Amino acid sequence: MEISKLVYLLLLRGVPPVKVNDSNTALHLLPPEYKVPYGPQKTEDITSVLNPLFTFLDAATPAKLIDNQSKAEIKRQQQQFLRTVLLTP
């Protein structure tokens, strides 16, 4: 082994390891400092989030589809689109 390599290795032995942080490491190389809660979701969890959202949007959106002759609201299951008009407040 060459003397310069030996001196270099001896000098490195006395250097403490550098603590990895965002000032000396690229951010995409750092592990997250928080628990990542991602993973497979249960149907009940998804439903519990989406149902209040749907309820709010349904109440906040006043436009409805109605039958032009009978003025009855068109429900999702009905397929009578020939006489359908958009009712807005």
What is the tens place of the pLDDT at every residue in 14-59? Answer: 667 778 888 888 888 888 777 767 778 899 989 999 999 999 988 8
Query: d(Cα 68, Cα 73) in Å, to the nearest integer?
Result: 9
What pTM was computed for the model? 0.36
pLDDT at 22: 82
Q: Which is higher by pLDDT, 46 or 62?
A: 46
Radius of gyration of the chain (CA): 33
Tell me how crowded residue 80 is: count the other CB atoms within 10 A of its CB.
13
Confidence class for position 76, pLDDT limits 50, 70, 90:
low
The string over 15-53, giving b where at least 16 C-beta atoms fall within 10 Å of a residue's C-beta and e elsewhere, is: eeeeeeeeeeeeeeeeeeeeeeeeeeeeeeeeeeeeeee
